A and B are shown apart, each in its own frame.
Chain A
């Protein structure tokens, strides 16, 4: 909470200070996730990633991870849904 307040006070992007996930969707076929923590489930139709704000689920078809680096992953395939699991923050 302190980091969040500092970021707000100094007008610094929150994701830089408190590792908030940044999700960028390009069309329906390409998705990049920054500040993801770990992969929980991965199949060709479903991907679940742990983030600071909760487990992020991605549903689609023919999903493939293009590349993975620390704090960055790029996903391709036909994406149909992106959602957070309920209850956990």
Chain B
């Protein structure tokens, strides 16, 4: 093992020895205490490995034994470095890159803001920029405690600010106050009120007094679960108290809406000659890598942009951002729809509306489409029957005290 390490560091050679005196040569090598290994018979001779310092001696002995010797390969760290030294620019580039990486990891190359809703991210980043936290800020010059304190003082809406630096990324986590006057869900009393004209299909009450049962018809605005509950003492009602009514009331709702499908519609026809544009951003300077000028008219193009910041590892971002912009050129043409196609399009529009506007827990029981043809299009009336949650909490008052969860109404 140690010999292998020794010969790896100081180098070894693979020699090919040919002739009739190979066995004699081996005897001579043993006699002279020359360490050799991996001795392999080859056609008309042997191949062996030896330390680089012994090769000349072996060659001399091979001549004595009547053999021809030839160096096949030189191995080891010495030769690796020697080969490397020939590749001057490669070595220089590798050293430069290593130094650059070491230097680049001392700066911040990505700032992320999380947890903000009402305070715009731009405002937070602008404040950070004014307070010496921006793209390329040295990590050593950043005092996160002061920044956290100042940010909290500057933005009244923030209740919590945390600035952490991981690798080359600064993560700003904030928590905001509830908006002024917003009811705290646990404090204010509320009724559950119907938001649709519906036929009740199920009622689940967690708090409050149910006013409707399965099978009852309700109108929009009707109270479904009342916040007023009776207080009983030994089966006798002694008063009432107001609570925040909670529960789920599902009902069968029939909704109608109308729309028009014109017989003439515009269609984008994409051409095959799409083009990509790459841009690299280094230290806030943008360089275009390639640009396809001329052949693509950028006015009638759909543009898809994707950005990718290079990183070494999890949080070690580098100051290189590659932006890929894909241009998909198209021409607009108009086509006519026959009534059949218009009907199919209407069906698709209704399906898309159901997917986009109905909550996931609602069940579509039926949909009816009534068509009436006009000169320029198809008038459609869609009747959709669904079973969905119809109750929404409606706050009764806002000036109740925090511990006033129970208060007599009368």
For B104, list chain A residues within 8 Å (CB).
none
Proximity bits, A10-37, B CB within 8 Å = 1, else 0:
0000000000000000000000000000
Q: Shortest Cβ distance from A32 into chain B, in angstroms? A: 14
- Interface size of A as a range: 10 to 19
Q: Which of B22, B30, B33 has the most CB of A within 10 A?
A: B30
Q: Shortest Cβ distance from A2 into chain B, in angstroms? A: 26
The closest CB in chain B to the CB of A64 belongs to B40
Partner of A42 from the list B22, B31, B36 (CB cut-off 8 Å) is B22
Given contacts A63-B41, A68-B39, contact A39 B33 (CB under 8 A): no
The closest CB in chain B to the CB of A65 belongs to B39
B46 contacts A67, CB within 8 Å? no
Q: Shortest Cβ distance from A70 into chain B, in angstroms? A: 5
- Say whether A52 faces chain B, with CB atoms less than 8 Å apart: no
- Say whether A81 faces chain B, with CB atoms less than 8 Å apart: no
Proximity bits, B300-319, A CB within 8 Å = 1, else 0:
00000000000000000000
B41 contacts A40, CB within 8 Å? no
Q: Shortest Cβ distance from B28 into chain A, in angstroms? A: 9
Partner of A69 from the list B23, B30, B38 (CB cut-off 8 Å) is B30
For A64, list chain B residues within 8 Å (CB).
38-41
Given contacts A41-B23, A42-B46, contact A70 B31 (CB under 8 A): yes
Q: Which of B31, B38, B39 has the most CB of A within 10 A?
A: B39
Q: Which of B1-55 contact A (CB under 8 A)?
A: 22-23, 26-27, 29-31, 33, 35-41, 46
Given contacts A40-B23, A41-B23, contact A66 B41 (CB under 8 A): no
B26 contacts A69, CB within 8 Å? no
**Bound Cα distance from A65 to B25, whole angstroms:** 14
Q: Which of B22, B26, B35 has the most CB of A within 10 A?
A: B26
**Bound Cα distance from A41 to B46, whole angstroms:** 12
**Bound Cα distance from A47 to B188, whole angstroms:** 99
Q: Shortest Cβ distance from A64 into chain B, in angstroms? A: 5
The closest CB in chain B to the CB of A40 belongs to B23
**Bound Cα distance from A40 to B27, whole angstroms:** 8
Partner of A68 from the list B22, B37, B40 (CB cut-off 8 Å) is B37
For A68, list chain B residues within 8 Å (CB).
26, 29-30, 35-37, 39
For B41, list chain A residues within 8 Å (CB).
42-44, 63-64
For B36, list chain A residues within 8 Å (CB).
67-68
**Bound Cα distance from A42 to B37, whole angstroms:** 14
Known A-B contacts: A63-B41, A70-B30. Give 16 more (CB < 8 A): A38-B23, A38-B30, A38-B31, A39-B26, A39-B30, A40-B23, A44-B41, A64-B38, A64-B41, A65-B39, A66-B39, A67-B35, A67-B36, A67-B38, A68-B39, A70-B31
Interface on B for A, CB 8 Å cutoff?
22-23, 26-27, 29-31, 33, 35-41, 46
Interface on A for B, CB 8 Å cutoff?
38-44, 63-70
Q: Which 8 A-B pairs have the closest CB atoms?
A: A65-B39, A38-B27, A67-B37, A44-B41, A39-B26, A64-B40, A43-B41, A39-B23
13 A-B pairs with CB atoms under 8 Å apart are A38-B26, A39-B30, A40-B23, A42-B22, A42-B23, A64-B39, A64-B41, A65-B37, A65-B39, A67-B35, A68-B26, A68-B30, A69-B33
